[in-house]
Amino acid sequence: MRLSVVGCPALLAVWGVWLVVGDNGTDSREVTDTYRISSGLMQCGEYSNEVMPNGQCRLMATLPQLEEQRCPDMFRCTDEVSYWLHENEERKQQMQDLKETISELQEELRSHRHRIKVLELQTAEKNNLNQSLEQRFRALQQIYEDANTQLHIHGSLIYDMQTQLRNLSSTVERVRRNPGCMINIVRTSPLISAQETLHPEVQHIRNCPIDCASLYYNGVRRSGVFTIVPSLGSTPVDVYCDMETDGGGWTMIQRRQDGKVNFNRKWAEYRDGFGDLHGEFWLGNDHIHEISNQGEYTLRIDLEDWNGKHKHALYESFRIENEENHYRLHVSGFSGTVEDSFSWYHDKHSFSTPDTGDICAEISHGGWWYHQCFYAHLNGVYYKGGRYSAKGKNLLGPDGIVWYSWKDSDYYSLKKVSMMIRPRTYRPRPSP
């Protein structure tokens, strides 16, 4: 019986004898070794192994045919050989599988490297895009800033043009109110070059009323707001004219009637004037000075309490000095239906306001011709109902609209008062 087994390397253990089977790494020459196996006196057979040209080992065994005798279980190791051969095949298969796995992993690695390269390129493109967008954003931001600057410039120009338009409209309205008055006002425009600039402000004024008495003489018989141009000034002034009281022709310089206007104001506001000519107002010390010093003027003060009682005081002579002299008061020649509380005490005294440091003005909360502090104060706080107290209002002294002789008290505030002036030589004329 002949048994042939191909496979290498393999190790056989036979009866305590180790047989070494050739290796793939040996010489490529064909080597053949023959071994005899015996047991006692019996020849049991032989086997041989050889290295084949392809590098594999071939094991050949010849077994005798014995009838009664039996060789020792020499080739019992063939099971082990088969096992190891099988194991070898499995290892080879595992190695093949590992090679395939390695190949797949290498392919996957190449794929990942490719993807990384693509991502790097995409990232570079995005960075370039971001830089481009940032540059575009900066360019747009610069455009926006330039446009915003132009907008501010145009806004300023529009504002200047609107101011000029309002001035022109005001001039037209003054001309409409006084058709006999020629007023030509040209204001400098920032859009006109120095060579093209006309003479600024008022250019020509003539035939204009200097007060409400002038308007009355020109045929105006209704009370209301009109424009006058005092002879000592060159600027038109809007005033309220009373054309009804005692023959009309009165230019009103002050009025209190409902407490809607706060008279606790600073020097500049009393100088320029404030309030509403149709309601409560102070005409302005500059305007009062210009009007009262263009001739001899009379002052009329009308008073009304909270019971509806009316009285008045008339002063034959009235004027105030300019700002340099603190609008010093000159008033005299009293007559009227109420006892005098004004001229005898306040004449020849300067005007002051709460912000000038005058303690009376601070306590009385208004501008006036104070003299330790007053007997008459028509620019005080408007107290509804008339009666008030220093304790109840936490005051340092009286600060209402006071005419002391009305109630012989500093703590009674009148409901309505007004101050008006007109030329001393004024004589009303019958309506045409």
pTM metric for this prediction? 0.56
pLDDT for residue 194 is more than 90: no
Would you call 289 exposed, middle or buried from its count of C-beta atoms within 10 A (0-12, 13-18, 19+)? buried
Q: Give the highest mean pLDDT range of 36-45, 216-225, 316-325.
A: 316-325
What confidence tens digit (pLDDT) does each residue in 60-94 have? 766 555 555 555 554 455 666 677 777 888 888 88
pLDDT band of residue 383 (cuts 50, 70, 90) is very high
> What are the C-alpha distances in Å from 285 to residues 142, 379, 399?
52, 13, 21
pLDDT band of residue 212 (cuts 50, 70, 90) is very high
- The pLDDT of 360-375, averaged and rounded, is 94
Between 386 and 48, the more confident residue is: 386
Rounding to the nearest 10 degrees, give the CA dihedral for residues 235, 240, 243, 247: -80
Please report the DSSP string for 260-315 in residue order: -S-----HHHHHH-EE-TTSSEE--HHHHHHHHTSS-EEEEEEEE-TT--EEEEEE
- The pLDDT of 37-52, averaged and rounded, is 58
pLDDT for res 29: 43
pLDDT for res 318: 98
pLDDT for res 82: 73
What confidence tens digit (pLDDT) does each residue in 392-405 have? 666 888 899 999 99
Ordered by start, the domain boundaries in the chain are: 84-164, 212-423
pLDDT for res 417: 98
Count of other CB atoms within 10 angstroms of residue 53? 8
* Nearest residue to 306 (alpha-carbon basis) of 401, 406, 411, 385: 385
- The pLDDT of 139-147, averaged and rounded, is 87
Longest Cα–Cα distance in the chain: 182
Express as a percent the part of the chain with pLDDT over 90: 45
Helix (H, G, I), strand (E, B) or coil at 33: strand
What confidence tens digit (pLDDT) does each residue in 171-192 have? 667 656 655 565 444 333 343 3
pLDDT for res 50: 77
pLDDT for residue 263 is more than 80: yes
pLDDT for res 148: 86
Bridge pairing between strands 329-336 and 310-320: antiparallel
pLDDT for residue 12 is more than 50: no
What confidence tens digit (pLDDT) does each residue in 313-358 have? 999 999 999 999 999 999 999 999 999 999 999 999 999 999 999 9
Looking at domain 212-423, its CATH architecture is Alpha-Beta Complex (3.90)
- The pLDDT of 5-30, averaged and rounded, is 38
Cis peptide before 428, with omega less than 30 degrees from 0? no
Between 432 and 263, the more confident residue is: 263
pLDDT for res 129: 82
pLDDT band of residue 208 (cuts 50, 70, 90) is confident
Name the residue with tokens 């009286």: 398
* Nearest residue to 329 (alpha-carbon basis) of 361, 360, 265, 285: 285
pLDDT band of residue 280 (cuts 50, 70, 90) is very high
- Mean pLDDT, rounded, of the chain: 80
pLDDT for res 344: 94
pLDDT band of residue 58 (cuts 50, 70, 90) is confident
pLDDT for res 46: 66
* Nearest residue to 322 (alpha-carbon basis) of 296, 347, 278, 288: 288
